[in-house]
Every structure is written in C-alpha cells, then in structure tokens.
C-alpha cells in the first residue's frame, strides 16, 4: 500500500502563488507515476499534471500550462505542485495520486489509471 498526504493549500488572491506538497509513504517503489488532479464544487475531477518518479514524462492540462510546475524530490518521497499566476477558476480541492502503471500519453490524464489517492487540500483563489 501507498499513502499520500497533501499539504500547502490555502486562500490566495488572484495572481498569487502557492506550492502544494504530497508526501508519499509505504511501498512507493511499487509506483511509477505521480499526478495532481483537482475538483471544483459541482464539477468533475480534472487532470492537472503528471510525471514519473524519475522526473521525466511531464504532462500538463492546457489550462495550467505555463503557470503550474510539477516536480519531485526522491530523497523526501515528495511531489510538488508550484502554482503561479493563480486565477479564481483554479479554486478546487487538489489531490495527488500515484500509479503502478507506466506513464503514457493517454493514461496520464485519466483518474482511473491511478490507484492511490490523498485526501486532498483546498485551494481558494479570490478575485
């Protein structure tokens, strides 16, 4: 089993920045891909970004390209999401996820490809 614990959410004004962290524990060596998803009230969960533990294979949703950066610190078993130039429409619960399956251009975007999920952290962007 793999446990994921997010932190770093909060309230920020539009144009501001936040960095989310996701600490992984347990059998992390069984996983190969990491991702961030988000879900706003009344909306479906949507993909944000993904990468491999090796730091390769970066994927981003079009809505966050150029503003968000996913990264990993293998020594700390932690994945980060740096969010800059935040907009009110970025308001959502952000969750990290991990998968045992190899990251690929199709599966990277699909929540069903990820077996392990954190509980989520709230990000609220005020206008």
Supply the pLDDT for residue 106. 83
Q: What angle do CA 37, 41, 47 make, to 5 degrees?
A: 15
Query: Please, which pLDDT band fits residue 51 given cuts at 50, 70 and 90?
Result: very high
| 32-36, 44-48, 80-84, 101-105: least confident range | 101-105
What CA–CA distance (Å, rounded) separates 115 from 96?
Answer: 11
CA distance 116 to 12: 28
Q: State the average pLDDT for the chain.
A: 95
Say if residue 82's pLDDT is above 90: yes
Q: What pLDDT band is residue 107 in, cutting at 50, 70 and 90? A: confident
Binning pLDDT at 50, 70 and 90, where does residue 13 land? very high
At residue 101, the pLDDT reads 87
């Amino acid at each position: 089993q793999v446990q994921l614990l997010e932190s770093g959410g909060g309230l920020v004004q539009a144009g501001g920045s936040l960095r989310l962290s996701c600490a992984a524990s347990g059998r992390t060596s069984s996983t190969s891909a990491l991702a961030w998803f988000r879900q706003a009230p009344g909306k479906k969960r949507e993909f944000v970004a993904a990468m491999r533990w090796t730091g390769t294979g970066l994927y981003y949703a079009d809505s966050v390209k150029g503003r968000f950066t996913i990264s990993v610190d293998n020594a700390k078993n932690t994945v980060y999401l740096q969010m800059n130039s935040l907009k009110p429409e970025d308001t959502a619960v952000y969750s990290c996820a991990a998968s045992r399956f190899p990251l690929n251009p199709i599966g990277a975007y699909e929540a069903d490809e990820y077996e392990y999920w954190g509980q989520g952290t709230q990000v609220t962007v005020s206008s």
